A and B are shown apart, each in its own frame.
Chain A
């Protein structure tokens, strides 16, 4: 080995050691990460600390539940308003969002990452405070895919006690189509004081649904999936992995596909049109309503329409068909006659 090779090896070794040292110093000097704290947290159930405030609200005026792009553009600097994007496509928020909007990721910020449940109240309170939200903040949610997960977010916010929760009419696509301003900057707000006050009346579980099926509760079940899923012709729309072993619907449910509540451009139909749409299907708000779909996300859209816009008493069954259709011993309706996917 000649001396230049030795020198080279020495330099390489010194470099590697320096690198290691830097990694070690930075890794050990840092405070404990949230990730480890999260992992150490005990599993919490959401049903425990329920303070049932089951008082149906007076329907609020349409423009106080659904905001137009014009209204939002004029209120971007309003400190009373906090805008939240909930999009499904990763990177969408980051590459340009409504200026000042905070990002909530539905897979981690609205649901529990381990058990099938909505996010635990303590964790949600932490996230809401970090976004600078107080209990009286006007929360405006928007997202891609016709506001599906923005509506899911609205449902979680309402369950945890936020009073003024609104959706951006037409969602992200309308804001983009109007070529309005977008920003790539991540906003930062002073911590808010949001305190969770749980309202369990907005959520239905399997026993609540079975009471309706067995005639023990006088409620209306609304299945918002496509007619082919409802009849059992197909198990799920193409490309979706989470399935039930049985196709069909919950006996007695009424099928009103979620998209009927929207105009072609993704904006909500007028209050009169919406009231008529559901009344024609036999849903007039005279009885409490339970909405469901496949995993609960599209049904939260219809929940928003019926509960927030029309002011009916509505709970979302987020277990939906992937729970019900997989449950042993419960009756199903399957007009298409599919059994195990085979006729």
Chain B
């Protein structure tokens, strides 16, 4: 079975090296120690402090969870669409369920009375418009073309993927195109679009019930496509077996999802909702600004909650998070023997770049990507998160039907 699966399927992954590569293990441990040391020093740096340090650590944890659980939205969608394998999809459902429970608890403290019509501070609750659906569709096509979403490419950068860099470079270009297109979409569709937040209508308890019921219905509907589980023989808990369970085997989707959901709640409680495009988008915005290519006024862009971009000269908390994500993924990939630098082929690089452009464009119009708008949005009971999520899934489906993913 595994032989017939294409390389990027999440069901199959490169088998870890039979022997432990000492150089890789040493470098992996070094990466994770460097992450901790980095957090320690950033914490003491004026202008950055504890929020930057915590963002770095949250990013590191996310990178480790993404890498060990192979939490890649594209691979998960593809397994379901192309291989009728729903198992990995439960990681997303679990992450959303845990996020929802945690967000409801945090919201209760942040905004005790949601019926006032206010939105919880900086939660990713966006306008629901045709532009959002279009952006999701384009983002999904970009995922199919480049083989992963933006967060997927970030953690694969840590695994040594040769296509991550062209894809992320494409995303930077795509952000720029998104900024150029923003004003038109804003005036025609986004400005008057409703910002629908479930707790405004039915409170936190009601929202959480609806949230869990919808996720539960999806989970039950997908059961038929879960592969039969094999019997687990009784095993002695030896260090070698522990290592195999923690590092070498793919984490159980439910475990991965729960960890990602918990990280998402911690990030919202202490720093800001999870997202991976804010700093990268700001890079593009700053470059365009200095090149004089940014529209003189981006109408309303900065008034929405989401993966906000700005013209910056410094590393934002989101920048530290992304740095931590890549280093965390690199560390675990090295330790687990999954660090396999690949040399990209030209055709594949072009496809990755083009996919990146589509994703970057979509992430600006949708005010975030699969992490910022889908995960942090649905977890926060925002209707915009569901619309984007469904559109992304449709985009990936369309991309796979058009066989865009075979160009890589």
Contacts and interface: CB of A to CB of B under 8 A. Distances in A.
Contacts of B205: 26
Interface stretch (A180-188, A268-276, A282-290, A300-308): A180-188
Interface residues of A, number: 29
Contact of A16 (B113, B121, B217): B217
Interface stretch (B55-63, B208-216, B334-342, B398-406): B208-216
Given A35-B117, A91-B121, A185 B109 contact: yes
Chain B interface secondary structure, helix, strand, loop or mixed? helix
Contact of A26 (B206, B220, B271): B206
A8 B200 CA distance: 32
Contacts of A215: none
A116 interface: no
Contact of A12 (B109, B110, B203, B221): B221
Most buried by B among A16, A23, A188, A241: A23
Given A19-B214, A91-B122, A8 B115 contact: no
B202 A33 contact: no
Given A11-B220, A27-B202, A186-B110, A34 B213 contact: no
A35 B115 contact: yes
A93 to B, nearest CB: 8
A91 B112 contact: no
B117 A38 contact: yes
A30 interface: yes
Contacts of A90: 121-122, 305
A15 B216 contact: yes
A33 B116 contact: yes
A80 B27 CA distance: 60
Contacts of A108: 118
Contacts of B269: 95, 184
B117 A186 contact: no
Interface in B190-237: 200-203, 205-206, 209-210, 213-214, 216-217, 220-221, 224
A18 interface: yes
Given A26-B206, A91-B122, A94-B109, A11 B115 contact: no
Nearest to B211: A19
A4 interface: yes
A110 to B, nearest CB: 15
A186 B118 CA distance: 16
B210 A22 contact: yes
Contacts of A11: 217, 220-221
Nearest to B271: A95
B270 interface: yes
Nearest to A130: B113
A152 to B, nearest CB: 19
Contacts of B67: none
B97 to A, nearest CB: 15
Contacts of B115: 30, 33-35
B272 interface: yes
A186 B213 contact: no
Given A35-B200, A91-B121, A94-B109, A8 B221 contact: yes
Contact of B206 (A16, A23, A185): A23
Nearest to A38: B117
Contacts of B201: 23, 27
B380 to A, nearest CB: 13
10 contacts: A8-B224, A12-B220, A19-B217, A27-B206, A33-B115, A33-B117, A35-B115, A95-B271, A184-B269, A185-B109
Interface of A: 4, 8, 11-12, 15-16, 18-19, 22-23, 26-27, 30, 33-35, 38, 90-91, 93-95, 105, 108, 184-186, 188, 241
Given A16-B217, A23-B201, A185-B109, 4 more contacts: A12-B220, A35-B200, A184-B109, A241-B297
